[in-house]
Amino acid sequence: MTWYAPYPLALARGEGTRVQDVDGNWYEDMIANYGALAHGHNHPAIVAAVAAQVARGTAPGGPTPVQYEHAERLRSLNPSLERVRYCNSGTEATMWAVRAARAYTGRDLIVKIDGGYHGTHEWGQVSAFFSPSRTTPARLEGLSDPQLAPGVPPATAADVVVVPYNDAAVVATVLEQLGYQVAAVVVEPVLGVGGGIPSAPGYLAELRRLTSAADVLLILDECATLRLGPWQVKHGVTPDLTTHSKIIGGGLPLGVFGGREDIMSQFDPAGPRPTYHASAFGGNSLSLAAGSAALDHFGKDEIDHLDRLGERLRRGAEAAAAAVGVAARAVGEGGLSYVHFGSTPPRDVADTARLREGRRELRALLHLSLLHAGFLTAPHGLLCQHVLTEPEQVDAFVEAY
Ligand code: PLP
């Protein structure tokens, strides 16, 4: 994902909205660590919070007030988090959310989206977006075969049902036939790595209805989408469990999973049959202090600002491509954009793959040209801004584009 030919830049430092490579060149950062940052580099409030916390210790190894303070801030963005537990990354958060769902329901199967990216643990690498080394047969006729990353055993895929994005009818069929074996449906509100594709209107509400009817849990993987603001409130979808990571740590590693109290209370060590959760550095004070400072600077103004920047960028990129006779569709939501070269926007990862394959050379040349013009972008088409980015910086980027 982060590699590109002839070799990726080695980055020495970041400052505000810019990064500098080890040769001393500065670039306007249009990736924001693939969406993981929202506040630019070295945001003064985050630097101050980290400095204050490091003097008080980094990971004391027990519950801390900074955890509660961070959790309260998270809840104001996502009220479905009745209880949370902290870990170190998005990979861990989704691993734990699925563990919670399996332990709570006593079932093993999960339903995962084709091209859905949830991190690098075993089930997350089933039909994630990469060149597959092998496949295993689909569990139901009509579904595409699960694709396995090298090193992932086929047995992993036996517990994963892969369905296309934005197609609730397929999920209905799967739950009808296999629902009694399914612990959870795991889905991103915007298919991020798979092409920045927003969920179709009503799609997640329908998944909520179907999962509730089948007594199956719904897990929203919001590791990437918290930079869009309170997505669940805005779209009126309440999952059973949610995962967050990336911007919640203010640039330090942090993940969280949480949701319904009755599900999360299974982790209570004093409970009748506790589900095990441990992590030496999960919920460490440094990440949480940085994250709280970041969330304190992530209110309505900042979210609206990112929304406007995203709109400006998407419109600008499409217009710039059209001006030289190239069809482009810029998709995404808020401060998370993805440019595809083609005349129809993708609906699922199969469309993304087709569009990407068609313009490989154009993408590579555009990426390198932008580097020469002083803009760091992701070669595959993802574009994310910082809350410190000004509209004029977006305009300068579009000009270069
Ligand atoms: N889930 C989603 C939706 C993501 O976008 C990512 C990272 O890109 C992850 C999970 C994994 O997060 P991490 O890289 O922190 O393990």
pLDDT digits (tens, 9 = 90+) for 297-339: 999 999 999 999 999 999 999 999 999 999 999 999 999 999 9
Asked whether residue 388 is domain-assigned, the answer is yes
Residues 158 and 285 grouped into a single domain: yes
For residue 217, what is the enclosing H or E element? strand 217-221
Domain end (from 296, 311, 345) = 296
- Mean pLDDT score across all residues of the chain: 96
Complex prediction ipTM: 0.99
Cα separation, 291 vs 53, in Å, equals 12
Please determine, for residue 3, whether its predicted confidence score (pLDDT) is greater than 90.
no
Predicted local confidence at residue 118, as pLDDT: 98
Asked whether residue 38 is domain-assigned, the answer is no
Tell me, in angstroms, the distance from the centre of ligand 1 to residue 180's CA: 29
CB 385 within 8 A of CB 30: yes
Nearest residue CA, atom 5 of ligand 1? Answer: 224
* Cβ(221) – ligand 1 distance below 6 Å: yes
Q: Which amino acid is at 68?
A: Y
Q: How many residues does the chain have?
A: 401
* Cβ(39) – ligand 1 distance below 6 Å: no
**Count: domains in the chain:** 2
Can you tell me which residue has the tokens 């003097």? 55
Asked whether residue 5 is domain-assigned, the answer is no
Instruction: Note the pLDDT tens digit of each residue in 248-296.
Output: 999 999 999 999 999 999 999 999 989 999 999 999 999 999 999 999 9
Q: Where residue 307 sits, what CATH number does that domain have?
A: 3.90.1150.10
Residues 114 and 22 grouped into a single domain: no
Instruction: Note the pLDDT tens digit of each residue in 28-43.
Output: 999 999 999 999 999 9
Domain end (from 265, 296, 327) = 296
Residue burial 282-303, b: 16+ Cβ < 10 Å; e: rest: bbbbbbbbbbbbbbebbeeebb
Predicted local confidence at residue 163, as pLDDT: 97
Give percent above pLDDT 90 in the chain. 94
Cα angle at 277 between 271 and 278, to 5 degrees?
Answer: 125
> Which atom of ligand 1 is nearest the CA belonging to 255?
15
* Cβ(356) – ligand 1 distance below 6 Å: no
* Cβ(118) – ligand 1 distance below 6 Å: yes
Residues 249 and 287 grouped into a single domain: yes
> Which atom of ligand 1 is nearest the CA belonging to 188?
3
Confidence of residue 132 (pLDDT cuts 50, 70, 90): confident
Asked whether residue 185 is domain-assigned, the answer is yes
Tell me, in angstroms, the distance from the centre of ligand 1 to residue 271's CA: 31
Domain end (from 296, 321, 339) = 296
Tell me, in angstroms, the distance from the centre of ligand 1 to residue 104's CA: 24
Asked whether residue 179 is domain-assigned, the answer is yes
Average pLDDT over residues 145-171: 95
Taking alpha carbons only, the member of 166, 189, 163, 190 closest to residue 109 is 163
> Which atom of ligand 1 is nearest the CA belonging to 116?
3
> Which atom of ligand 1 is nearest the CA belonging to 225?
3
- Tell me whether the omega of the peptide bond preceding residue 6 falls within 30 degrees of 0, making it cis: yes
Is 198 exposed, middle or buried (CB count within 10 Å of its CB: 0-12, 13-18, 19+)?
Answer: buried
Is 265 exposed, middle or buried (CB count within 10 Å of its CB: 0-12, 13-18, 19+)?
Answer: middle
Predicted local confidence at residue 391, as pLDDT: 97
Taking alpha carbons only, the member of 222, 231, 257, 333 closest to residue 102 is 257
- Catalytic residue numbers read 117, 221, 246
Residues 63 and 127 grouped into a single domain: yes
CB 247 within 8 A of CB 240: no
Cα separation, 80 vs 272, in Å, equals 25
Instruction: Note the pLDDT tens digit of each residue in 8-64.
Output: 999 999 999 999 999 999 999 999 999 999 999 999 999 999 999 999 999 999 999
* Cβ(166) – ligand 1 distance below 6 Å: no
CB 343 within 8 A of CB 318: no
SS3 state of residue 11: strand
- Choose one of 91, 122, 186, 281 to mutate for the ligand 1 pocket test, by most ligand atoms within 8 angstroms of C-beta: 91
Cα separation, 137 vs 159, in Å, equals 12
Residues 75 and 210 grouped into a single domain: yes
Nearest residue CA, atom 13 of ligand 1? Answer: 90
Structural domain harbouring 117: 44-296
